[in-house]
Amino acid sequence: MKILIVGSGGREHTLTWKLAQSPTVDQIYCAPGNGGIAQIATCVDLAADDLAGLADFAERESIDLTVVGPEAPLVAGIADLFAERALSIYAPTQAAARLEGSKSFTRELLRKHDIDHIQFEVFTDAAEAKAYVRQQGAPIVVKADGLASGKGVEVAQTVAEAEAHIDLCLEQGGYGSAGQTVIVEECLVGQECSIKVFTDGETVVPMVPSQDYKPIGDGNVGPNTGGMGCYSPVPAVDSETFDYIVNQLIRPTIAAMATEGSPYVGTLYAGCILTDQGPKLLEYNCRFGDPETQVVLPRLDGDLFTILQATVAGRLDEVDIQWTQDRCVCVVLASGGYPRSYETGKPISGLAQVAGWEDVMIFHAGTARQNGQLVTNGGRVLGVTALGETYEIARERAYQAAAMVDFENKYYRTDIAQRAVEAEHSG
């Protein structure tokens, strides 16, 4: 079997790594890929948003299955284009991807089908949005409706902060078309977690839960990032909480999409917050998360290709999916200055020294090869991931490996999974 993976980050490296373990996969291509992916797959010089180019390549190379990593091609309709050309793809349709592409669509769908209860209103007029904020008071959350690279959300601690974000979206065009509509939501408090599922539109099979770290600094301070680390499983997600999220939030959402004529096929990711009133949905993503994929797929005890193929074929109910009991921790090594300005092209050293370490995997996020040398090529550079029988063992392995790998201005958080270790000790 020949696979094409779309994307260039740590998520795509993890997908490539896991799919390469399948005995039925003969060849993997990745477009555009990165320096780490190039070691186990053939990288193709095609951008992730070049939908026609990707379809042409899949047709020309007789690709058996295309797997899409990032959200932009999903929202742009890559699954629809591939379907028109009878090309097999693991991805939701453009209509189904509205669950990520439009936060207002999702909130209104959930309200219509009585799925999740959270106070919100949708606005296209700045004055009306500000009046609502003043009526509700702070803290309050203001979100750009569309894709804004994870930067369109403002958890405003004051009315002034909320109004400033409304102006940024609706008056100043700070997020382009993504910010032409805003959603103003009640501010929820609690630990966050994510649960992803495989679904063929009817059958829903959950993956193991994970918890990531968005702020750049230890103790969750500083600006948000794409994710500075992650771990799985999550002590705060007990079986009752897990079942509620899967059976009261995710399954009804997938059923609602089918009812609305937009059946959902692929991976659906529920980002949730564990409030005193129970789990609440923060957002849906229509893909594997990053860096969540780096701690979930290493725990998959089986053939990922078989699962993806069965999902696309509508036969997910025929596949037995198992997970290991291992703990998994991922520590992201970033370029100094990220998520704001940072330099690239810094040589990376130390990877060979940790290549043989037991239960340690280095997933490349922003790397490239220049003149035979692996160099940094992004804000998030590497995801240093480790498995262990306990959180403490997994965390120690990840941080030992993180210390061995080096590049100029390397930065990483030092508190990833510390909460899980403390919960393990107190439990």
According to DSSP, residue 268 is labeled E
171: left (phi over 0), alpha (psi -120 to 50) or beta: alpha
Mean pLDDT, residues 350-360 taken together: 94
Q: How far apart are the C-alpha atoms of 6 and 33, rounded to whole Å? A: 8
CA distance 33 to 54: 13
For the segment 342-352, the average pLDDT, to the nearest whole number, is 97
Tell which residue, 339, 325, 340, has the closest CA to residue 388.
325
Question: What is residue 34's three-state secondary structure?
Answer: coil
Q: How many CA atoms lie within 13 A of 375 on its CB side?
A: 11
Contact 185, 106 (CB under 8 A): no
Q: Give per-residue pLDDT as tens, 287-346.
A: 999 999 999 999 999 999 999 999 999 999 999 999 999 999 999 999 999 999 999 999
CA angle 194, 395, 190 (to 5 degrees): 35
Distance CA 408, CA 346 (A): 6
pLDDT at position 403 over 90? yes
Confidence of residue 235 (pLDDT cuts 50, 70, 90): very high
Q: Give me Rg for the CA atoms of the chain.
A: 21
- CA 312 vs. chain centroid, Å, equals 20
Question: Is 136:184 a contact under the CB 8 Å cutoff?
Answer: yes
pLDDT number for residue 372: 87
Report pLDDT for 181.
Answer: 96
Reply yes or no on domain 119-186 having CATH 3.40.30.10.
no
Average pLDDT in the 124-138 region? 96
pLDDT at 151 > cutoff 80:
no
CB 345 within 8 A of CB 366: no
% of the chain surpassing 90 pLDDT: 96
DSSP string, 207-251: ---BEE--EEETTTEEEE-S-SEEEES-TT--HHHHHHIIIIIIH
DSSP letter string, 302-368: S-HHHHHHHHHTT-GGG----B-S-EEEEEEEEETTTTSS-----B-B-HHHHTT-TTEEEEESSEE
- Asked if the model's pLDDT at residue 286 lies above 90, the reply is yes
Domain boundaries in the chain?
A: 2-91, 119-186, 191-318, 327-426
Average pLDDT over residues 199-203: 97
pLDDT of 409 higher than 90: yes
Q: Quickly tell me which residue has 């291509």 as its tokens.
A: 29
Pair 19, 7: CB distance under 8 Å: no
DSSP state of 188: P
Encoding tokens for residue 157?
A: 């601690």
Q: Does domain 191-318 have CATH number 3.30.70.3270?
A: no
Q: What is the CATH class of 2-91?
A: alpha beta
- 327-426 belongs to which CATH class? alpha beta
pLDDT tens digits along 244-270? 999 999 999 999 999 999 999 999 999
**How do beta strands 89-90 and 65-68 pair?**
parallel
pLDDT digits (tens, 9 = 90+) for 48-86: 999 999 999 999 999 999 999 999 999 999 999 999 999
Q: Is the pLDDT of residue 426 over 90?
A: no
